[in-house]
Amino acid sequence: MLAWEEHARRGLHFFSWSEGFVCTGRDTTPPEGWLEDVLDRSRFSFTTTEVDGVTVHHTEGVEASLVASDQPDAVGYIRMAFHHGPLVAIDLEAVGTAGEKDKAFVHHLAMSMLPPILPRLVDVEARWSPEGWPEDTPLPDACMEGMDRLLDAWQGLTLNEGMLGGRLKAEVLTNLEHGLVMNDGWLDGSDMDRIIETLTSLGGTEDEAVFAAAMLVARMDVGGGIIDTRGELLERDEGALLVTKGASLNAIMGALWTEHHEDGLVGLGVEGDDLEAILASVDGRPKSFGAFLRGLDDARAAARREARFPHRRGRLNGPLGITHDLVLTGLLDGGGRAQKAACDRHDDVEAAAAAWAWLLAADRNTGQEWHFEPVARDRGGAWSTAARSLIEAGSALLDNDDDEHRDAFTTALAELAATMGVNAP
């Protein structure tokens, strides 16, 4: 054997197969039948097809016509173009069946020739594009270069053959320059219905899919990123938005919630006063997105009720704002919630007086005196009659949503402001 190796070092080529050991001199063209013999002895099952005069040896998972025309598909394949004409294609699913102890196909091929230098004999390339990628659009250069590096590692026996298919696909997906990647498929992001359809396949409700889809589109407008299975977003200024395979709908919503939950609500058709009120009520990321979205109908109804009033809670300052907000909370959320808020710690005497005024006006002051200093109770007592009028006007407005009752509430609020010695809003 050492003698043959010495000849190989001097530029001669040898091919070993069932018919013997053949020297082709300095010509790298293997003897007729050698390639077929090597393929028969491999772990793959090949079919031979003639396409426009070209011999294509291919596994079951790839079409010979695609190989001959050098086109990618959604399954993917390793394409070997032998310099003497034949093509060999192994689909990536078949490649992925290799066990740790299985000999790599390129090793099997190289061991049938001397010197075992495959580039002298064959060009090896990978062909795969994600489902949805335009047929007439080539992959970005970074995708092709990344696949070439992996193929070099495979041929150098530093990358396990069973991992090759998954690594090739991951290299393509992470180097796409735009769009949305989910489940090894690509969407350009312009068709909301297709995004929703893809998300629905992950489980969850239609509202969850719509909510997540709107957030994904909003994210694509500002940049790419990678959403992992834990619901975290690795931000990227460039590139596609990639949803890691196996990430759930909850993971997607969790990753995008902080920056894009408003976009998600708009996608569900929540807008105007409803949107403003729901956003004001949101306190951090929901523990359950399903429960949050199911509660939107109730939230919308509550928002519409609050929208009847001239001012939303939190918009008015000072003692007038405190009493006003307690009136609305009592009418909209119940007296118990308003009472709890009224008895919380107060920043100053005026704030305490405003809260005491509501407690007196709502007849919820009994037993609550210890929360308030005497001066606050005295001042709040002077304001309580006007506060009671505001409660009555607000109750009437909830029962009758019209300009007359809205004006009556505005008048009652102005009278309370005058009683407190502050400007009316």
| pLDDT tens for the 425 residues of the chain, in order | 444 455 446 667 888 888 888 888 888 889 999 999 999 999 999 999 999 999 999 999 999 999 999 999 889 999 999 999 999 999 999 999 887 777 889 999 988 888 878 888 999 999 999 999 998 899 999 999 999 999 999 998 889 999 999 999 999 999 999 999 998 899 999 899 999 999 999 888 889 999 999 999 999 998 889 999 999 999 887 889 999 999 999 999 999 999 999 999 999 888 887 788 788 777 788 888 888 888 887 777 777 788 889 998 888 999 999 999 999 999 999 999 999 999 998 999 999 999 999 999 999 999 999 999 999 999 999 999 999 999 999 999 999 989 999 999 999 999 999 999 999 99
Give the residue from 32, 66, 60 showing the smallest Cα distance to 45.
60
Q: What is the CA radius of gyration of the chain?
A: 36
CB 212 within 8 A of CB 253: yes
pLDDT of residue 34: 93
Token pair, residue 308, equals 């009847």
Residue 7's pLDDT is 45
pLDDT score of 286: 87
- The pair of structure tokens assigned to 379 is 């001042």
Those residues with Cβ within 8 angstroms of residue 389's Cβ, 6 or more apart along the chain or in another chain: 412, 415, 416
How much is the pTM?
0.69
Amino acid 257: pLDDT: 94
CA angle, residues 132, 147, 227, in degrees to nearest 5:
55
In this prediction, residue 116 carries a pLDDT of 79
Return the structure tokens found at 353.
Answer: 């007086």
Cα 105 to Cα 35, 111, 147, 164, distances in angstroms: 13, 10, 17, 12
Taking only the tens place, the pLDDT of each residue in 294-352 is 888 777 777 778 888 999 888 899 999 999 999 999 999 999 999 999 999 899 999 99
pLDDT of residue 2: 46
Cβ atoms within 10 Å, residue 73: 18
Kindly state the tokens that stand for 103.
Answer: 């000999």
Question: Facing residues of 187 across strands?
Answer: 180
Rounded-to-integer distance, Cα 225 and Cα 198, Å = 18
Helix or strand or coil: residue 408?
helix
DSSP 3-state of 148:
helix
Residue-level pLDDT at 6: 58
